[in-house]
Amino acid sequence: VEAVEAKVVKALAIQADGGNPDDIKVAVLKTVEAFGKIDILVNNAGTAIPKPFEQASLEELDYILNLNVRGVFVATQEALKHMPEGGRIISIGSCVGERTMTPGLAAYSATKGAVKMFTQGLAREVGDRKITVNNLQPGPIDTDLNPAAGDWAAPQLANTSLKRYGHVDEVAALVAFVAGPESSCITGAN
């Protein structure tokens, strides 16, 4: 917040559990209280529990579904109540929502496939308000959850053309483009 406000831009930090509908609703309301509206929503919370599907517990599957799908639904529905014409909804999906070749990601892939189809359907519903809805589907990105030097890196790298993990700043640059005026006619895209 201090770094953003040093650039003479208002900022707000809210801690919330993206898998908890009540936390999401409170976060949206706090945002609206601070800024008056929501111009851009980036659905970026997500998780995977890499393991063979038959070894996943029901609790683990619920956790993945609640954060990766239900959280996107709730955040989007709440944000739309406060989004003016020309708003942007951007979800961070995954390339495995399109095609998965890495064992241990069946449940995660299913959730990211759901986000893909949600994006396409919602774009049709809010287009008359000039709101764009898009889904970014990066490959492996070097994060705490999925480090480039982690145990699951080798099978992911084997399926990439560039043989490297992406960086969060590369994803952020694409988010900035999709949120900007240059992309005002891109919607329903994955």
Residues belonging to the active site? 108
Query: Radius of gyration of the chain from Cα atoms?
Result: 17
Q: How many residues does the chain have?
A: 190
- What is the spatial distance between Cα 69 and Cα 64, in angstroms, rounded to a whole number? 8
Residue with tokens 């006619």: 185
- What is the spatial distance between Cα 149 and Cα 156, in angstroms, rounded to a whole number? 11
- What is the spatial distance between Cα 153 and Cα 163, in angstroms, rounded to a whole number? 10
Question: Tokens representing 161?
Answer: 């053309």
Among the listed residues 66, 67, 25, the one whose alpha carbon sits nearest the alpha carbon of residue 46: 67
HSE toward the beta carbon, residue 66, CA cutoff 13 A: 14
